[in-house]
Amino acid sequence: MSYPADLRYSKEHEWVRVEDSRATIGITSFAAEELGDIVFVELPEIGADLSQFGTFGVVESVKAVSDLYAPISGTVVEVNEALGDAPELMNSDPFGEGWIARVELSDPSQLDALMDADAYAAETA
């Protein structure tokens, strides 16, 4: 399987897309597939401080309930409210409309601790 080349990936199967000082966070297509039909996501609060690899929410599928781990530290500036009514967007478009939150990065150097698309593809192979 191949993954978008412009993203960074964590071992916990979250992705980050960096645009200037902000980053968008979501879960990967691999995670979405493993979870099965996602029925609920508990979003972080705007203004919450996330720390890299700390939990920041919960995703619930018909099979399991899993914590969401922040791939990067930062302050939440926006959450994907659309997931409230349509959590299945995380299954159908995990790298696009299924995004979870946007954060203001506190330490961009943390990106170095994440994988690129090829490394993540190898990790999930």
Partner 1 sequence: MSYSPHTEADRSRMLAAIGVGSVDDLFADIPAAVRAGDWAIPDPLTEQEVRAELARLAGRNRIPEVSFLGAGVYRHLVPAVVGEVIGRPEFATAYTPYQPEVSQGTLQSIYEFQSLICELTGMEVATASHYDGATATAEAALMACRLTRRHRVAVSAGVNPDYRRVLETYCSGPGVEVVIVPIDLAEGGSGATDPAAAAAALGDDVACLVAAQPNFYGQLEPMAELAEAAHGAGGLLVAVVEPTSLAILAPPGAYDADIVAAEGQPLGIPASFGGPYVGLMAARMAAVRQMPGRLVGATRDVEGRKGYVLTLQAREQHIRRERAASNICTNQALMALAATTYLTAVGPQGLREVAELSSVQARHLAAALEDAGLAHRRFGGTYFAEVTMTVADAARRLAALAERGIVAGYLPERDEPQLRDTLLLAATELTTDDDVARLVEALEATR
**Cβ neighbours, 10 Å, residue 5:** 8
Q: Is 60 in the site for partner 1 (CB under 8 A)?
A: yes
Q: Find the binding residues for partner 1 in span 36-55 (CB under 8 A).
A: 40, 42, 45
Q: Give the type of residue at 70.
A: A
Classify each residue of 78-101 as buried b or exposed e, where b means 16 or more C-beta atoms within 10 Å of its C-beta. Answer: ebbeebeeebebbbeebbeebbbb
Q: How far apart are the C-alpha atoms of 91 and 30, rounded to whole Å?
A: 10
The count of residues interacting with partner 1 (CB under 8 A) is 7
Least distance to partner 1 from the beta carbon of 39, Å?
A: 9
- Complex with partner 1: residue 23 or 59, whichever CB lies closer: 59
- Complex with partner 1: residue 65 or 82, whichever CB lies closer: 65
Q: How far apart are the C-alpha atoms of 92 and 74, rounded to whole Å?
A: 27
Least distance to partner 1 from the beta carbon of 55, Å?
A: 9
Among the listed ranges 11-19, 20-28, 57-65, 68-76, the one in contact with partner 1 (CB under 8 A) is 57-65
Cβ-contact 1, 105 below 8 angstroms: no
Q: Which residues bind partner 1 (CB under 8 A)?
A: 40, 42, 45, 58, 60, 65, 67
